A and B are shown apart, each in its own frame.
Chain A
Amino acid sequence: MIASGRADEQLPVIARFEVRYRNYLAPDGAINRKLPAFASDTRLLVTLYRAMVLVRAFDLKAVALQRTGRLGTYAASLGQEAVSVGVASAMREEDVLLPSYRDNAALIWRGVKLEDILLFWGGDERGNRFSGPVQDFPFCIPVGSQAPQAAGVAYAFKLRKEPRVAVCLFGDGATSKGDVWEAMNFAGVHRLPVVFVVTNNQWAISVPLRLQTASETLAQKAIAAGFIGEQVDGNDVVAMHAAAEAAIDAARNGQGPHFIEAVTYRLGDHTTADDAARYRPTEEVQARWKEEPIARLRSFLAGQNVWSKTEEERLAAECQQRIDAAVERYLAVEPRAPETMFDHLYAKLPKAYAAQRRELEGGS
């Protein structure tokens, strides 16, 4: 890492740091480096593949629902599927996920029903009740604010001596916020069982990474907090799963926090309310399509003779069926009575608000 050329050569060097980069699969599915042991289990790889395909199809459907007025603003994860899937698949049920608004894939992996996700983005808090692990956090909307919470969750695990890990996902824009730094700093001091994963998709709405930071990598930010930061090819789900598994296992075994910078690219708009063409040249996006994670794994699996065109077609049909059924259930959800907006405000509705609740009753 070279910060600048201004250092006085005469002075002794008292510390040096390094950031490693992890990648196994090349964009064409070829193997770049000896695969981690788990990759010999092609069934697991196929499962990861299916999860990525499902979320891509789900995103597509969600965007279509938004366009036809049946869903609110939605943030798709087009091109970034390997990050969430790679990380979530390395977690145990009892670990706690603190996701960002774009991490649908991780939630789905953890068992959240598709209709729940639609319900939330469709404007109904009941979507956040989640059918997945009950202690997982809901999507975090204020960028980066889930990071100090993740430190709190991890502190609870450590205090109770539970072998559990908090896994916190956020975007590159979030790394500019004090929240993330404050959380990492604290996690380092207490060697907390927490893994921070930044999905570096190069853009925070229209602001490119070079305007977000002058850091050579985001991974190196962990070094200042006293723990390892590594960079991972975020379009290589094998690398993501391997990195997350190692980090989560280490955290579980008392080795403290870890930071993963997943380098990927957002191929779509920021959200359905965004038009990325305003700030991003088409050529750039087209070039990045060549690196995307799903085609990459498909090429690899096909090369291993464990995936065929027929299976691909069957999977597409399956996903479609599952998504259509979920959409149907989502659209059939009974509306909430207006007064229920008071129901979970406090554990027990304070007397002071009983009259306000009554005002809403019967829609008056």
Chain B
Amino acid sequence: MAEVTLVEAVNLALARAMEDDPAVVVFGEDVGINGGVFRATVGLQQRFGSERVFDTPLAELLISGLCVGMAAQGLKPVGEIQFMGFIYPCIDQLVNHASRLRNRTQGRLSCPMVLRTPHGGGIRAPEHHSESTEAMLTHIPGLRVVIPSSPERAYGLLLAAIRDPDPVVFLEPTRIYRAAKGEVEDNGEALPLDVAFVLREGRDVTLISWGAMVKETLAAAETLDAEGISAEVIDLATLKPYDEDTLLGSVAKTGRCVIVHEAARTGGFGAEIAALIAERGLTSLLAPVTRVTGYDTVMPLPRLEQHYMPSVGRIVAAARKANEFS
């Protein structure tokens, strides 16, 4: 098995999906000869031709609208939005069309599309290149929102997203595109969507995260372990529809929960999870559910971004505090 980076795993999954299914088409800005600004689509045009892998004009709304039209025709479009800060023109197509085409035609038409985009900060990028507005997307009924946190899950979940009969927004954690490395067997096997992954079992506190923050969350669990606090770490992976059972089951066991995300706090997806646990897991709680998140500020430019992102220290502190209750 080869050790690959997360972005290489994305590339492997795209190639595999295109190999397996001639209906898969890949397009976006600079995805062709350039292989994408992050190299996620590198080599695909050479391999699959410029009809199936093509550069679009610089028009994000178009990219999402093309996806809808193609998907309704039975293609499996995989559109790329170069950075999440530029996904907003796509929202119209996602909210008003992609996510509801099946419902509004009562199953006559469907929209098996994937819209991929880098997610999150921490790479010292210019303004508008470090956004993590996944919560906005999770509010859209009929959509799937998926964020892998390792090469293995990037590969398996992207294959699942492409094969899924409904629209999926696939958010790729920019910060660990290259930093995350792992063994990935290019065997064409998908991982399940709508399922959370328990990365580490524990007794005392449940740490829930997704995307690049899983890295800090796992590191925090190590530190806590050394202090005698046993943390269960869950990678939510699919944010919509999310795996309530795994979260509630874990909290039932540990009685404590810390949610970690880099997006701003107010209305972030952590709020949804906290509400779920308050509604359905209250009796098992031994401490208040807390969130370690980005601040309710604009994502700062590079000189301050490390102060914005949740650190291992902040996560450890929150878990310790939760453990002081009992």
A: residues with CB less than 8 A from B are 96, 98, 125-126, 128-130, 134-135, 137-138, 141-142, 145, 147-159, 166, 178-179, 182-183, 185-186, 189, 343-347, 350-353
Contacts and interface: CB of A to CB of B under 8 A. Distances in A.
B247 to A, nearest CB: 11
Interface stretch (B97-105, B251-259, B292-300, B308-316): B97-105
Q: Majority SS of interface residues in chain A? A: helix
Contacts of B92: 142, 145, 179
Given A125-B106, A152-B67, A156-B75, 19 more contacts: A125-B104, A126-B106, A128-B104, A129-B105, A130-B105, A135-B73, A138-B109, A142-B97, A145-B96, A152-B65, A152-B73, A153-B73, A155-B69, A344-B105, A345-B102, A345-B141, A346-B241, A347-B110, A352-B244
A266 to B, nearest CB: 24
Interface of B: 25, 51-52, 56-57, 59, 61-62, 64-75, 77, 89, 92-93, 96-97, 102-110, 141-142, 164-166, 194, 241-245
B241 A148 contact: no
Contacts of B62: 148, 151, 179, 182-183, 185-186
A130, A138, A148 — most chain B CB neighbours (10 Å): A148
Contacts of A343: 106-107
Nearest to B74: A156
Given A125-B106, A130-B108, A156-B75, A185 B194 contact: no
A351 B59 contact: no
Contacts of B93: 145, 148-149
A150 B243 CA distance: 36
B244 A148 contact: no
15 contacts: A129-B108, A138-B104, A148-B65, A148-B93, A153-B69, A166-B69, A179-B61, A189-B57, A344-B103, A344-B105, A345-B141, A346-B102, A347-B110, A352-B194, A352-B243
Contacts of A126: 106
A152 B56 contact: no
Contact of B59 (A141, A152, A186, A346): A186
Contact of B103 (A147, A159, A182, A345): A345
B194 A186 contact: no
B57 to A, nearest CB: 6
A148 B70 CA distance: 10
Contacts of A189: 57
A36 B80 CA distance: 46
Contacts of A154: 69
A358 to B, nearest CB: 14
Contacts of A166: 69
Contacts of A128: 104-106, 108
A153 B194 contact: no
A125 B96 contact: no
A156 B105 contact: no
Given A149-B97, A156-B75, A350-B194, A138 B69 contact: no
A152 B68 contact: yes
Nearest to A185: B57
A341 to B, nearest CB: 8
Given A125-B105, A151-B62, A189-B57, A352 B242 contact: yes
Contacts of A185: 57, 59, 62
A159 B76 CA distance: 12
A135 B66 contact: no
A302 B3 CA distance: 80
Q: Give me the 8 closest cross-chain CB pairs, A-B, nearest first.
A: A152-B69, A148-B65, A156-B73, A149-B69, A350-B241, A182-B62, A352-B241, A152-B66
